[in-house]
């Protein structure tokens, strides 16, 4: 019962934090100037060209289409078809996420073609959300697409952070790390970013596709860890080692302005208000964002905070919110996502708690597997595991936690959300 209430609040809050709603509440256009938080951030002379990229691309563009009289043309790169929004067929290209596919390459070529057709000295807006790294793939000269995509898709299972994966994407790409800007000429560019990044580093979101940045040298230990993997071909290994050097910041003759339009705190605010007003929660706490060197360190950190929170709860409903990015080392054919894995691991850590719920959500609506948002554990799941004598540790060791949660009816299902902040973990209990 508690889990259902938590889920209802989460999805109501997520809906209220939709990117189009964030844009409509934070952006105004007055006399060919864009106003953000009561400050003019961007002025333009002509109609605007818009490129919308990432897992929230459709909702972001929907927010801007209310200014349709100001738009000359647009392109949206998406990984699913939203039933709520209709776009002109020629202005849309479909791709894939989280894995890179041939569609990612086709999408990148269409993006390049669109950019090349934008006149010199144009006004251009990029609407960026996380996920564009997989949805757009165009290798550097001398490297074929199949070789690159195989490397990147395997790299996702090594257990390193998203930012770290993008270090390698940037090195192997002809469009990432601001290189996309090379297809524009003396343009006036505004980047409007929905952040899912752990510290809001804008050059890491969608691999900084239109963010001027200096490429850094990849840490030697990380480089060695990746290039020593069996899936790393000799050609890619040699390329990465040879090109692991600094590159200067380059805006490619363009004027660039960048802002973050929204991040996890937009959703956290909604959650806090809804838990207080709709469920009369007596204690609500946001701990912070979890990212550590290993899954074990991260999960132990969460456990310590949960135990302290549980032991010091108030009479009534208590809600503890985490956000995070917790990489899980998995096999290429594993069945499950990092939220399914995290909730499963906590079966042995908090199974003695009473009247509790621990829900792990992906805000983009895909915990690696299409149709699965994440998973939960609560008193009912614990009883189910015990009564059926389920060997849950075996599912955890083999990183096949999807099957565990399916057996215990503890998966959180749903469609793609057209949103993307970060993963949310909500622990709650009634005292």
Sorted by sequence, the CB contacts under 8 Å of residue 362 that are 6+ apart come out as 337, 339, 373, 374, 423
- 8 A C-beta contact, residue 345 and residue 299: yes
Q: Are residues 250 and 358 in the same domain?
A: no
Each residue's pLDDT tens digit, 366-407: 999 999 999 999 999 999 999 999 999 999 999 999 999 999
- 8 A C-beta contact, residue 223 and residue 156: no
Q: Are residues 284 and 207 in the same domain?
A: no
Q: What is the mean pLDDT of residues 303-327?
A: 97
Each residue's pLDDT tens digit, 22-73: 999 999 999 999 999 999 999 999 999 999 999 999 999 999 999 999 999 9
- 8 A C-beta contact, residue 36 and residue 64: no
CA gap 48, 68 in Å, rounded: 9
Residue 12 maps to a domain: no
| pLDDT at position 187 | 98
Residue 13 maps to a domain: no
CA gap 413, 371 in Å, rounded: 6
Q: Are residues 23 and 122 in the same domain?
A: yes
Q: Are residues 303 and 383 in the same domain?
A: yes
pLDDT at 138 over 90: yes
Residue 406 maps to a domain: yes
pLDDT at 330 over 90: no
**How many domains in the chain?**
2
CA gap 36, 27 in Å, rounded: 5
Alpha-helix runs per DSSP H in 67-120: 102-116
Residue 11 maps to a domain: no
pLDDT at 144 over 90: yes
Residue 365 maps to a domain: yes
Residue 310: name the closest of 272, 271, 341, 349 by CA.
Answer: 349
Q: Are residues 203 and 344 in the same domain?
A: no
- 8 A C-beta contact, residue 136 and residue 170: no
Domain boundary among 263, 292, 327: 263
User: Which residues share a beta bridge with 53?
Assistant: 128
Q: What is the CATH number of the domain that holds 312?
A: 3.40.1480.10
Cα dihedral value 396, 399, 400, 406, nearest 10: 50
Residue 95 maps to a domain: yes
Q: What are the two backbone dihedrals, phi and then psi, of residue 197, each rounded to the nearest 5 degrees? A: -85, 145
Q: Are residues 259 and 285 in the same domain?
A: no
CA gap 180, 191 in Å, rounded: 13
Each residue's pLDDT tens digit, 147-174: 999 999 999 999 999 999 999 999 999 9
Q: Are residues 319 and 407 in the same domain?
A: yes
Residue 9 maps to a domain: no
Instruction: Return the number of other C-beta atoms located less than 10 Å from residue 10's C-beta.
Output: 24
Sorted by sequence, the CB contacts under 8 Å of residue 404 that are 6+ apart come out as 340, 344, 390, 392, 395, 396
Q: In the chain, what percentage of residues exceed pLDDT 70? A: 100
Domain boundary among 234, 263, 292: 263
Q: Are residues 231 and 376 in the same domain?
A: no
Radius of gyration of the chain (CA): 22
Residue 361 sits in which domain range? 280-430
Q: Are residues 88 and 233 in the same domain?
A: yes
Residue 188 maps to a domain: yes
Q: What is the CATH number of the domain that holds 238?
A: 3.40.50.10180
Q: Are residues 45 and 110 in the same domain?
A: yes
Q: Are residues 31 and 130 in the same domain?
A: yes
Q: What is the mean pLDDT of the chain?
A: 96
Domain boundary among 230, 263, 296: 263
Q: Are residues 161 and 88 in the same domain?
A: yes
CA gap 211, 365 in Å, rounded: 26
């Amino acid at each position: 019962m508690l889990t259902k209430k938590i889920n209802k609040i989460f999805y109501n809050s997520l809906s209220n934090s939709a990117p189009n709603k964030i844009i409509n509440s934070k952006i105004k256009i007055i006399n060919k100037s864009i106003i953000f938080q009561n400050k003019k951030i961007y002025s333009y002379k002509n109609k605007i060209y818009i490129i919308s990229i990432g897992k929230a691309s459709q909702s972001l563009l929907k927010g801007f289409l209310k200014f349709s009289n100001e738009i000359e043309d647009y392109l949206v790169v998406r990984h699913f078809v939203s039933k709520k929004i209709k776009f002109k067929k020629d202005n849309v290209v479909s791709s894939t996420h989280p894995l890179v596919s041939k569609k990612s390459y086709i999408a990148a070529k269409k993006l390049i073609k669109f950019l090349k057709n934008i006149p010199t000295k144009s006004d251009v807006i990029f609407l960026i959300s996380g996920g564009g790294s997989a949805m757009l793939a165009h290798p550097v000269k001398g490297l074929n697409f199949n070789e690159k995509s195989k490397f990147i898709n395997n790299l996702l299972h090594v257990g390193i952070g998203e930012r770290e994966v993008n270090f390698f994407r940037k090195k192997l790409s002809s469009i990432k790390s601001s290189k996309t800007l090379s297809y524009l000429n003396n343009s006036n560019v505004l980047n409007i970013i929905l952040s899912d990044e752990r510290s809001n580093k804008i050059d890491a979101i969608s691999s900084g596709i239109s963010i001027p940045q200096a490429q850094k040298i990849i840490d030697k230990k990380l480089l060695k860890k990746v290039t020593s993997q069996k899936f790393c071909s000799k050609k890619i290994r040699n390329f990465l080692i040879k090109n692991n050097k600094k590159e200067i910041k380059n805006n490619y003759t363009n004027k660039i302005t960048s802002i973050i339009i929204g991040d996890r705190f937009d959703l956290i605010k909604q959650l806090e208000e809804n838990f207080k007003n709709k469920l009369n929660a007596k204690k609500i706490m946001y701990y912070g964002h979890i990212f550590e060197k290993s899954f074990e360190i991260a999960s132990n950190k969460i456990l310590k905070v949960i135990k302290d929170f549980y032991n010091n709860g108030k009479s009534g409903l208590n809600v503890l919110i985490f956000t995070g990015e917790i990489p899980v080392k998995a096999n290429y054919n594993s069945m499950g996502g990092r939220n399914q894995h995290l909730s499963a691991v906590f079966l042995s850590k908090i199974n003695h708690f009473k009247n509790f719920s621990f829900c792990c959500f992906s805000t983009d609506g895909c915990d690696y597997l299409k149709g699965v948002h994440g998973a939960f554990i609560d008193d009912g799941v614990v009883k189910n595991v015990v009564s059926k004598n389920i060997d849950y540790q075996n599912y955890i060791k083999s990183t096949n936690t999807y099957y565990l949660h399916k057996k215990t009816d503890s998966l959180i299902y749903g469609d793609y959300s057209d949103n993307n902040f970060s993963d949310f973990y909500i622990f709650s209990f009634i005292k």
